[in-house]
Amino acid sequence: MFEQHTFDVDLPEDLLGAVDAALERGEQVRWAVQPVAGLLVVRALAGMLLVPLLLAAQVAVVKCGLDILGAQGLRTMPLPAKLIAAGALAGALYMDMAMSFAPLAMYRRARCLAYVVTDRRAIILRKRRFLGPRVRSFVPNQLKAVRRKQRYDGRGDLIFQPHARRRGDCFDVGFMAVPDVRDAEAAVETLTKTPAATA
């Protein structure tokens, strides 16, 4: 398995198989790495800081609605109002719990990701349990305007497409949370300067 690499690739066995299946005939791996799971989790935790604020705001809105009903002289709340209040609180709790589990989901996702540079393309590969791997390829022409975001410890992001959009969300596409972002940048630069790859 995975006999097309040119050096020892440090990826888990199941990801090696997924990468091997994604390669074209004769394609050779030049560089491969997994993202730093902890760095992706920290990013997810930043969004989680809003959970208590959102929950407090949602409870305040429902309480305000109940107070308005009480001010109108309604001693007992009508059934439709009770259902609306219960639905609003259930929706709020569901959203807050989903946001609370975001760091765990990000950690699991990082363990299923591989970033690969071959002699022909850069690949973002996500191994999925039931649907098979999701492969996103970038040929050298798509890697001309790569941008590096580096942290003080050398980790960081190598961005291929800044501000991509999907379903209303705006995000960067590339090798995110790489252990050594300069090494990743050098591998991509080598790919873009290889005559066979650009032809």
Q: What is the pLDDT of residues 150-185, one digit of tens each?
A: 889 989 899 888 776 665 566 778 998 899 999 999
- Measured in whole angstroms, the distance separating CA 52 from the mean position of its chain's CA atoms is 23
What percent of the chain lies above the pLDDT cut of 70?
78
Per the CB < 8 A criterion, the answer to whether 166 and 154 are in contact is no
Does residue 80 have a pLDDT over 90? no
The DSSP bridge partners found for residue 114 are 125
* CB within 8 Å of 34: residues ≥ 6 apart: 11, 12, 15, 110, 111, 113, 114, 115
Tens of pLDDT, residues 39-79: 877 776 766 677 677 777 777 777 776 677 666 655 566 77
Strands across the sheet containing 29-33: 29-33, 113-118, 122-126, 134-138
Instruction: Give me the amino acid identity at 135.
Output: V
Instruction: Give the pLDDT band (50/70/90) at residue 1.
Output: very low
Instruction: Give me the amino acid identity at 100.
Output: S
Q: What value does the mean pLDDT of the chain take?
A: 80
